[in-house]
Amino acid sequence: MAALPDEALELLESWLPDNDEPARPRMQLATVDSEGRPDLRTVLLSEWGRDGFLFHTDATSRKVRELAANPAAALVLLLAGGERQLVVRGSAERAGAREEARAYARRSPYVRRHAWVNTPEVARLPRAERVAAWSLFGAEHDIDKLEAPATWVGFLIRPDRVTFWETDPHAPSHRLEFTLEGASWSRAHLPG
């Protein structure tokens, strides 16, 4: 799929934080299951660039099963206190090992530990035992030296449509939309 055009990339640069900023934006990630039913959840945007938008998750999760059956995905990010909305539609593919390791290293100690302890087995325990499992893992490991567990996986959403929605106190809200048509991107101004 063709990489995003310069104009879209420049807008992303002014709308999104740099990839090395520790606080990552939240986004809603939509997938569809094997029967075409929609699914939705919040994830962190790990990185973005000309090729698309990366997020990281657990390999055993429902979203990963759904993407394996159907790579179609959509994202929405609410930005600038709700004055801007970035909507992305595209197709998900597994990220490279380097991106996965980099995203893990950039996550907070809580998230890095979470990636190890957040298993289906721990989830089934009563809360006191979940607290004990969390604390035991912390006592037995130096989290700063741990690499990502094998279940830590990343996906790149390669967009075929990116929409920049913006409100305007003096005019109707407005969308600038980039759509991939064949090998090239078209752009359209749309009502908000």
Ligand X SMILES: Cc1cc2nc3c(=O)[nH]c(=O)nc-3n(C[C@H](O)[C@H](O)[C@H](O)COP(=O)(O)O)c2cc1C
Of residues 118 and 167, the one with the C-beta less far from ligand X: 118
Using CA atoms, how far apart are residues 89 and 160, in angstroms rounded to an integer?
6
Q: Strands (DSSP E) along the chain, which ranges?
A: 26-32, 38-44, 47-49, 52-58, 72-79, 84-94, 152-166, 174-181, 184-191
Q: How far is the CB of 69 from ligand X (least distance, A)?
A: 13
> How many residues does the structure list for the chain?
192
Q: Which two tokens stand for residue 28?
A: 């809603």
Of residues 104 and 178, the one with the C-beta less far from ligand X: 104
Work out which of 41, 80, 109, 135 binds ligand X, going by CB under 6 A. Answer: 41
Q: How far is the CB of 27 from ligand X (least distance, A)?
A: 9
Work out which of 63, 84, 112, 158 binds ligand X, going by CB under 6 A. Answer: 63
Residue 55 phi, psi dihedral angles, 5° rounding: -130, 165
Q: How far is the CB of 6 from ligand X (least distance, A)?
A: 29
Task: Decide: 184 and 2 in contact? Cβ < 8 Å.
Answer: yes
Q: How far is the CB of 24 from ligand X (least distance, A)?
A: 8
DSSP 33: -
Q: Is 43 in the site for ligand X (CB under 6 A)?
A: yes
Task: Using the rule CB under 6 A, give the single segment among 5-13, 49-57, 144-152, 164-172 that binds ligand X.
Answer: 49-57
| Residues near ligand X, by CB under 6 A | 26, 39, 41-44, 55-58, 61-63
